[in-house]
A and B are shown apart, each in its own frame.
Chain A
Amino acid sequence: MLPAAGEPAAGDSWGMLACLCTVLWHLPAVPALNRTGDPGPGPSIQKTYDLTRYLEHQLRSLAGTYLNYLGPPFNEPDFNPPRLGAETLPRATVDLEVWRSLNDRLRLTQNYEAYSHLLCYLRGLNRQAATAELRRSLAHFCTSLQGLLGSIAGVMAALGYPLPQPLPGTEPTWTPGPAHSDFLQKMDDFWLLKELQTWLWRSAKDFNRLKKKMQPPAAAVTLHLEAHGF
């Protein structure tokens, strides 16, 4: 990319000149300097990534409060119950090979669908909460999660992917039926928070990967500029 940049010895004025010429030749390719062009999906991916990290942080605080509200053993750090009755929750865990084999569109679609479901369950959680403070925290988190959904939709639109359409009749509903005992309900709540946490972690990875993939090669030029002390 920069044939003259790596070779010139110190004091070699011809080398320096060649390097300068090369840099000038490549300057129009630097997106930061190319003000007239479309910024592309990069900024929106970055924003989505940032929002994911923020939600991770927010969830840590919310989960602590909510699990205390459920009481022991749900708030115990090593509590790892079997996944009873929480099958309807979208699973974030996936085999690494499978995950690698997914393309960007599939990944984004899975993220979008998962958060759509999780948001619905979370709103049900909010309706059931007994304390006003907890309801406020949950409502705030729901708003943030809604923002993340919008952000993912924005990234998908920027990349030209269509939004997944929910199949009729598969809308997730929050119906704590009479057969569902309160203990199992608490287990579901626990798993909801746990899946949310795993999904956010996975999304952060997905968006970081996507961000790197979409990143233009501007950093290399900058590095050379610094290396030659311009």
Chain B
Amino acid sequence: MALFAVFQTTFLLALLSLRTYESEVLSEPLPLTPESLKVSVNSTCQCLHLQWTVHSLAYHQELKMVFQIQISRFKTSNVIWVENYSTTVKRNQVLHWSWESELPLECAAHFIRMRSMVDDARIPKPGFWSNWSSWEEADAQNMLGHDPLFVFPKDKLVEEGSNVTICYVSRIHQDNISCYLEGVQIYGEQLDRSVSAFELKNVSFIREKGTNVFCKVDQGGVLGGIVLFVSKVLEEPKDFSCETQDLKTLTCTWDPGSDTGLTKQPSQSYTLFESFSGKKTLCKHRNWCDWQVAQDSQETFNFTLLAENYLRKRSVSILFNLTQRVHPMTPYNLLPKNVGATKATMTWKVHSIGNNSTLLCQLELLAEGKVIQQSNVSIKVNGEYLLSELEPDTEYVARVRCAYTNHFWKWSELISQKFNTAEAAPSEAPDVWRNLKLVSGHPTPLSKVHANGKILFYNVIVENLDKPSRFEVLSIPAPASSTELTLDQCSYQIHVTAHNSVGPSPASVIVVSGDPGNEEVEKGRVNGTEDGFSVSWKPQSGDATGYVVEWCDGPQDLPCVLQWKNLGPNTTSTVIRSGAFRPGVRYNFRIYGISTRRMAHLLEKKAGYLEELAPSDNPQVVMSKLTSRSFTLSWKDYSTESQPGFIQGYHVYLKPKAGEQCHPAFEKTVLPEDSVCCKYTIDNPEQKTFVVENLQPESVYEFIVTPYTSVGEGPLDAFTKVTTLDEYSHTLIHIILPMIFCILIVMIICYLKSQWLKEKCYPDSPNPYKSSVLSLIKSKENPHLTIMYVNDCVPDAIEVINKPEGSKIQFLGTRKSPTETEFTKPAYLYLLPTEKNYSGPGPCICFENFTYNQAASDFASCGHFPVTPQAPRHQLGPLTSPENLLKALEQNYMNSLGEIPAGEANLNYVSQLASPTSGDKDSLPTNPPEPALCSEYKMQTAIPLGLASAPPSENSSLSSTTLLGQGEHCR
């Protein structure tokens, strides 16, 4: 063998020597020159692919050679790349080499040539190059179509952060081509007359649909573009881990990181390799993968997760033992069993893992969201645990999780179950307090009970301590927490028990004394803080069994929501907290001591504010005793109790006249609006009057009274103006007032005297001769008309109606008693002219005429006759114009009214009339009006025939007729 090797070497050297000799002498190319060089373009990867052979290497087995490759762009002299490629060459072997171009190959022609050199250790002096091969041209432009403008590379996929060179090829040879990246112009380098290149550095991801790069000929309508797909860098999977629930299937999970989601590139794929078994599986999901454990009980696993996309691969590995990665399944069927008031048994099941394996289960008990018990139980399949020390009638949540006992890896998921314990009799006495509404005693027990079940009702037993045999039992259904009892002056002991479905609670006892207990006690103040009111009191010297602090939660002007706090016998202070406390509201606390007899005695009263505020309102000030130099201010109605802070006093502000100085008692101050003011401070909150003195007469002053608390004073907004009096005005008043009084007295005396004189000397009397009726009568020249004298007329009777004094009713002349005659009802007629005046019931004077027939007298009772329409108009006689007559009568009537005294102005004159057609029932009014009320008689005047009233209606015709008849009768 060694001999063969020596022979081979010798032959090679001899051959090489011969070739060298030939080349030097014959200048022929070396036979080891690369031959059959072919160049192809791959646009997808922008690669030049070279393949060649070395034919001259005949009969040699292998030879290590170096090939030097030159690449030129645009022209052969423009060499852009030189690379030595070493490889072992066999005879007739086709060699391959690729080169990736930064500039898209479509944009430029590339020329490639190569030469070779033997670089084999077996040849001592091989160090010389062969001749260059001829240039091979790779011109992808030939493959382009006939479009005027091309942009390259098409649809390239790159990683974020990489550099990309873009170029365009223009066939129109114009200079006004501009290129844009996402609408923003980019500038590059012109490589050739028709080719320009743009280098994009550190490209970033913009959108799934790719980054747009386009070039266009300005105003040429020629456009070309590409989409550059920028992918985010593939991340290494994080948190890669595997676990099993049943020792049969492994589930591996990981965090895949972000996915670019390019439309050009599918999501990265994940492959799981296991090195011991040599198996692999392509995962269907991005973040988890299942792996079936083989039956040959492999325990140790070495997994490699490989993530890859078009551009990159990332991998991560883990090595673990199967039994150390057991994550049990969630337990099931968790149920409470035998649930009592304080105990319950929980049962559950677990999925078995392998054979005879045990699980450690953790049972937790929660009440109101907090874990109150925790226990660990070792089980195989069925779990059971007794929970004790539970509260009756309470909702609990039990939850269980389990872990593999052999090697703890993870707890299983939790399973929860709610349950309620049963009720029990209330264990505590209800917290009871009373609110004495009245002095006589109306205790209202209030209760706050925490019970072992739903309280159904409260039993209240009221025991009269003064009369021990007297009991009163009340049952108050829940949820009422108060009741009202009416008690007398005796002492009572009140027992309150709460009842649920199981039984009663211990009794709570309070004693209400017959003594109203409104004794005077010490009053104090209490300071409020953010925490509440810190109330303290002096310990009771006697045998106090406890204390109760009582207060109302709301402001004073609202109904009291009574609150109380029970405290032990050794306590002398407490902090009262309530969410209802508000700043600026006065809260009153009463501290009671509870005696051994369960009787409450008021010890102290405290008042306080959570936070004092400045007064929001000023008192209503009344000004009085205004003189020329002083006035008095008073605000007695101002209540200091209902203010938002303890009133410490008042400020009286007085705005003086311009230039006037403040009185020494006042303090000069500047108001917020920069006006100067005099301020007087009253530091006694109960002093609610103030006298402002030393003022100038006839001057305008402005004042305001504002209370102040420890925080500040009230608003200084509404000053009241006051003008002091003239200095002498009060003196004048002392003189003028008595004078006015005297003048008044004199005037009254004179008035009384004048009335008396007038009545005595010049009584008013009506004069019939002066009546206007007379003038009317005379103008008609009726011989029958004359004045009727009272003495000439014999009246039948005069009746005055509607006077309470019966003595005024008179029967004159031959008038018989109403009981002796058949005409029991008097008939009356008004002389008043209009029907309107008749109809109203008014006082009048009536003359009764018993010659009237029955029918007439039945209907005429101190009223007027509404006349019937059957009477003809011609019966009016000489009275041709009823309207004229009416006016005259009205005037006469008004004159008469003017003559009578004012007090009798409502009297009417009524004449006694007889019906001219006695017994004629047809002429009767069918609907007589109600009789008018009558008054006393003053005077009657005979009315001539035909002058009686003539109402303007048709009904008035008959009335005129009757008056005519009546006039004859009277004469």
Q: Which residues of A contact B (CB under 8 A)?
A: 69-74, 76, 81-82, 84, 128, 130-131, 181-183, 186
Contacts and interface: CB of A to CB of B under 8 A. Distances in A.
B155 A182 contact: yes
A12 B333 CA distance: 97
B223 to A, nearest CB: 5
Interface string B220-233: 01111111010000
CB-CB nearest 7 A-B residue pairs: A72-B183, A182-B227, A183-B225, A130-B208, A182-B155, A181-B154, A71-B212
B227 A181 contact: yes
Given A82-B221, A82-B222, A181-B227, A73 B180 contact: yes
Interface centre among B180, B226, B227 (most CB of A within 10 A): B227
A134 B205 CA distance: 20
B714 to A, nearest CB: 63
5 contacts: A69-B209, A82-B223, A181-B154, A182-B226, A186-B212
Contacts of B212: 70-74, 183, 186
What interface size band does chain B fall in? Answer: 20 to 34
Given A72-B182, A130-B261, A130-B263, A81 B223 contact: yes
Contacts of A81: 223
Contacts of B154: 181-183
Given A81-B223, A181-B155, A181-B227, A73 B209 contact: no
A183 B211 CA distance: 10
A130 B223 contact: no
Interface in B224-245: 224-227, 229
A9 B214 CA distance: 74
Contacts of A73: 180, 183, 212, 214
A74 B264 CA distance: 19
A114 B180 CA distance: 34
Contact of A70 (B180, B209, B221, B223): B209
A230 B225 CA distance: 70
B210 interface: yes
B207 interface: yes
B264 A182 contact: yes
Given A71-B206, A181-B155, 19 more contacts: A69-B207, A69-B209, A71-B207, A71-B209, A71-B210, A72-B180, A72-B183, A73-B180, A73-B183, A73-B214, A84-B147, A130-B263, A181-B226, A182-B210, A182-B226, A182-B227, A183-B225, A183-B226, A186-B209
A130 B261 CA distance: 8
Contacts of B224: 183
Contact of B182 (A71, A130, A181, A182): A71
A67 to B, nearest CB: 11
A186 B261 CA distance: 18
A130 B147 CA distance: 30
Nearest to A81: B223
Contacts of A183: 151, 154-155, 212, 214, 224-227
A73 B264 CA distance: 20
Interface string B504-536: 000000000000000000000000000000000
A131 B224 CA distance: 27
Contacts of A70: 209, 212
Nearest to A80: B221
Contacts of B211: 71
A68 to B, nearest CB: 9
Nearest to B220: A82
B206 to A, nearest CB: 7
Contacts of B210: 71, 182
Given A182-B210, A186-B209, A128 B226 contact: no
Contact of A186 (B208, B221, B227, B229): B227
Interface in B131-150: 147
A71 B214 CA distance: 12
A130 B223 CA distance: 26
Nearest to A131: B208
Interface in B644-686: none
A160 B419 CA distance: 74
Interface centre among B147, B155, B261 (most CB of A within 10 A): B155
A73 B224 CA distance: 12
